[in-house]
Chain A
Amino acid sequence: MSFLDIVIQLGRGLGYTLLVTLCCSVTGVLAGLVIACIRRIGFYWLRPLLDAYAYIFRGIPVLVLLFIVYFGFPSIGLKVTPLLAMVLSLGLISAAYLSEVFRGALNSVDADEILAAEAIGLSRLQVFNCIELPQMLRFSLPGMINEFTTVLKYSPFAYTVGIPEITKQAMTLSAVTLHGVEIYFAVGVLYFLTFRILLFAVQFIEKRYRIPGLVLKQRSSI
């Protein structure tokens, strides 16, 4: 097996890793946002359900939930694809954590600003859209980058349900080439580079949308 073959195989694995990370992160952000928004705006009867969801999903190991979804669901007639199983496990666990990040960020929005917006006649939904949501997204960025990193680091579980992501490729390559140390080192470097690129992208967004004058107080410590 040539060096180029190894690079191509690792590259293919990296593609799957990025796909899993992206799908799970997007699911986590969207579901986390929906949960945080519902909790904030109203729907009081839904809150116990959402609180229970966040409480339970933050306490279940990713691998256990993944196996429940991928190996358990077919026994009740629900067959899910490997990627969907990752989204329903890692993605929804991420959503549970992100909903807490968003809740904390919403609590950082100045109550006086909300009161001022209501006092001028804006509806509850307008106050949320125009005042709370834009600030919440900015304040959430440090927590979001932490969660995206966690999702990236949990993505190797995808190989247990048959997704040939980068760790799976490395296992195969190391068995074939007997150069496990070098290959796993290369995998480590690729994960690190992916993390740095992700971080750079989020920091760029953070810089682009930071609130002048508040940047030092709100800036990520990462």
Chain B
Amino acid sequence: MALIEVRDLVKKFGDQVILNGVNLDIYEGDLKVVMGSSGSGKSTLLRCLNRLEEPTGGKIVFRGENIMAADVDVRALRQSIGFVFQQFALYRHLSVLENVTLALRKLKKLPAAEAKDKALAELERLNMASHAGKYPSQLSGGQKQRVAIARALAMDPAVVFFDEPTSALDPLMTREVADMMNRLHDEGVTMLCVTHDLKLAGQISDKVVFLDKGVVRAEASIETLSQDHADERIRAFFGREADY
């Protein structure tokens, strides 16, 4: 059984249709990459999956439970899903350590010492323990992203969502984040990453899901999508991205 099953997911903002019947399965241990051009609905898809946006229609099943039901505990759901944002979204008034311990203390109700130990262990996992006392403004982009990942992992989520994790990073740091994601994948962390960065997609996954105008158009290897796919638009998208 899939960890997350998405069936005919629809999201509209007024008359504008952003997601128009998305179907997707994510299994435990997956590192699934969703690609698409700007405005294709990638970020909206992620936000619907943890109810940061309210879906307009369709069905999302998470661990066998329909999370679109009215009586779903949305906050509990969100605690099970880590979220890493494009611009890192670290709390700039808190140190690196405090960024990671905040949810542990407020949501898991861990005592301060225990939360600190857990946070330091996660930071160590991402080679950031030595920066625990620093503030976000004192870190590089790659370091910020690693802290954001540590913050997400500290809650022991069932799955981690990455929303354009490398769009604010240079190629070197992109490589760093890709290596990090591959390592986490080897450790069994389930991840769903949306990106339009073909290099990142190629570094972390053999197959990608292509989202276009709110619909999943294809799921195949990047090579197939860029050369052999029947749809010319898909070939063009991946060909252009590949050239880039």
Contacts and interface: CB of A to CB of B under 8 A. Distances in A.
Interface residues of B, number: 31
Nearest to A137: B93
11 contacts: A112-B88, A116-B89, A120-B78, A120-B82, A120-B103, A121-B77, A121-B78, A122-B106, A135-B93, A211-B93, A212-B138
A81 interface: no
B37 interface: no
A75 to B, nearest CB: 49
A121 B52 contact: no
Contacts of A117: 91, 102
A123 B74 CA distance: 10
Which of B82, B93, B102 gathers most chain A CB within 10 Å? Answer: B93
Interface in B56-98: 75-79, 81-83, 85, 87-93
A51 interface: no
A182 interface: no
A122 B135 contact: no
Interface stretch (A82-90, A126-134, A161-169): A126-134
A113 B78 contact: no
Contacts of B148: 116
Contact of A119 (B76, B83, B92): B83
Given A113-B90, A118-B52, A122-B103, 18 more contacts: A112-B85, A113-B92, A115-B85, A115-B89, A116-B83, A119-B50, A119-B52, A119-B81, A119-B83, A120-B107, A121-B75, A121-B77, A121-B79, A131-B93, A211-B135, A212-B135, A213-B135, A214-B92
Contacts of B87: 112
Given A122-B107, A213-B138, A214-B137, A135 B92 contact: yes
Interface residue SS majority, chain B: mixed
Contacts of B78: 118-121
B155 interface: yes
Contacts of B103: 120-122
Contact of B79 (A120, A126, A211): A120
A211 B106 CA distance: 22
B214 interface: no
Which of B52, B75, B106, B134 gathers most chain A CB within 10 Å? Answer: B106
Contacts of A12: none
Contacts of A58: none
Contacts of B76: 121
Given A115-B52, A214-B137, A120 B93 contact: no
Contacts of A123: 75
A122 B52 CA distance: 12
A120 B52 CA distance: 10
A138 interface: yes
Interface in B127-152: 134-138, 148, 151-152
Contacts of B136: 213
A213 B52 CA distance: 30
Interface string B222-241: 00000000000000000000
Nearest to A120: B103
B18 to A, nearest CB: 17
Contacts of B83: 116, 119-120
- Which 9 pairs between the two chains have the least Cβ-Cβ distance? A213-B137, A116-B89, A121-B79, A112-B89, A121-B78, A119-B83, A212-B135, A121-B75, A120-B103
Contacts of A116: 83, 85, 89-91, 148
A36 B75 CA distance: 25
A115 B163 CA distance: 13
Interface string B135-177: 1111000000000100110010000000000000000000000
